Amino acid sequence: MSTTNPLHQRPQPATLCVHAGTYHDERSGGVNTPIFTSTAYAFPNPANENVYPRYFNVPNQKSLAAKVAALEKAEAGLVFGSGMAAISTLLFAWLKPGDHAICQSGLYGGTHHFITHELAAFGIELSFVSNPDQLREALRPSSRVVYVESPSNPLLRCIDLVAVAALARKHGALSIIDNTFATPINQNPIDLGFDAVIHSATKYLNGQSDINAGVVVSSAAVVGNLNEYAVNHGGMLDAHACYQVERGMKTLALRIKQQNENAATLARFLETHPAVERVFYPGLVSHPDHAIAARQMRGFGGMLSFELRRPEQVDAMLSGFQLALPALSLGGVETLVCIPSRTSHRTMKPQDRKQAGISDGLVRVSVGIEDVADLKADFEEALAN
């Protein structure tokens, strides 16, 4: 396998999206990575490798991992059957009973549930923090992991990643970020000092709302250690799905450029709309973390949320969309709308939800690549209901 780089400079992200990791099959000369379907490989083999899909080392897995690693400027990576497989395997691999993990409050619901149920039952002590000052206070000698998301769901809060990574490093804790919302096109946490980056590739990396997949990228040492555990946990991604995500990622830079633009335009439009109380988009100067986002992101992403002036309007608005689809998940080419108080945050007590800033009239939008004039017209019409 070769990750050919005929250029003398470091290729830019759009170039890496197309070319990084591709397996060039010399016999056919095909320009795409072939799909290697075997679960049985010659043994012994000339490379002295024991190749098996559950060992995370068949060509399609390696090609996809190499593409994400190149985009995130990491030494190595592993691809998993879902974002949750990536997250749970990395945390179980790194932590042992008695260790302490510091997590950002307001993590993705599945991650929060995994951490508070399974990691806690495994004997991991937990602290939840919202900013670098709280992180500094929470650090203990047994702290081995610092885990964050930025921008976060659904209010797109951003945390100072340089400060977080520096505190973790000084303390010898592994800094991990779930970079799903930003994508490597908008944000490279390893450049900011992070040790490991996770993606739910189900979202923007694949971008077509038709595959569940996850990725961890980090140093060769961290990924090597993770690989040993991952073999036992068995959460690998099948070769066909690897191929599809690799194909989806060829257009990642193009899609994100359009989604950044569409989301910014829609955010500005909603900010002036009389039915809208408030818009949360890190690219708006009105966002509480705009300055942090502007320092650490190249683009502000395709996710936004807004609060309706009259929460009673939610159902009328939802039934008024012709284009935007009321649906869960995010990061695909189509615009999706959901109501966090009824979806991701529905199991929270109303009091806690209110404290977390998730009102009943909060609407989350995953902005797609449709023509933005059509999107504006669709929101205009739905909000007139």
Ligand X SMILES: *Cc1c(COP(=O)(O)O)cnc(C)c1O
Q: Residue 30 is which amino acid?
A: G
According to the binding rule CB under 6 A, does residue 61 interact with ligand X? no
Q: Does residue 203 bind ligand X (CB under 6 A)? A: yes
Q: Which of 54, 247, 278, 298 is catalytic?
A: 54
C-alpha to C-alpha distance for 34 and 265, rounded to whole angstroms? 39
User: What is the C-alpha separation between 156 and 95, in angstroms, rounded?
Assistant: 28
The CB-nearest residue to ligand X is: 83
Identified catalytic residue from 108, 204, 243, 281: 108
CA distances (Å), origin 20, targets 23, 247, 285: 9, 12, 35
Structural contact between residues 332 and 321, judged by C-beta atoms closer than 8 angstroms: no
Site size toward ligand X (CB under 6 A) is 15
Q: What is the dihedral of CA 66, 67, 73, 76, to 10 degrees?
A: -20
Q: Which is nearer to ligand X, 22 or 104 (CB)?
A: 104
Cβ 24 to ligand X shortest distance, Å: 29
212 contributes a contact to ligand X by CB under 6 A: yes
| Beta carbon of residue 217, minimum distance to ligand X (angstroms, whole number) | 15
**What separation in angstroms does the CA of 268 have from each of 48, 264, 273, 274, 304?**
57, 6, 9, 13, 11
Binding segment for ligand X (CB under 6 A), chosen from 4-12, 127-135, 197-205, 376-384, is: 197-205
- Is 108 among the residues that bind ligand X (CB under 6 A)? yes
278 included as an active-site residue: no
Instruction: Pick left, alpha or beta for residue 73 (phi over 0 → left; psi -120 to 50 → alpha; otherwise beta).
Output: left
Active-site pick, 203, 255, 353, 364: 203
Interacting span for ligand X (CB under 6 A) from 29-37, 47-55, 79-87, 92-100: 79-87
What's the closest the beta carbon of residue 337 comes to ligand X, in angstroms? 16
Q: Where are the alpha helices (DSSP H) in the chain?
A: 13-19, 59-72, 83-94, 109-114, 120-121, 132-138, 161-171, 183-186, 220-233, 239-249, 252-271, 290-296, 314-320, 350-355, 372-383
- Taking the complex as a whole, the smallest distance from the CB of residue 30 to ligand X amounts, in Å, to 29
Smallest gap from Cβ 366 to ligand X, in A, equals: 10
Catalytic annotation present for 204: no
5-13, 80-88, 163-171, 357-365 -> range binding ligand X (CB under 6 A): 80-88
Region 81-100 residues binding ligand X, contact defined as CB under 6 A: 82-84
Residues near ligand X, by CB under 6 A: 82-84, 108, 110-111, 149, 178, 180-181, 200, 202-203, 212, 214
- Catalytically active residues, by annotation: 54, 108, 178, 203
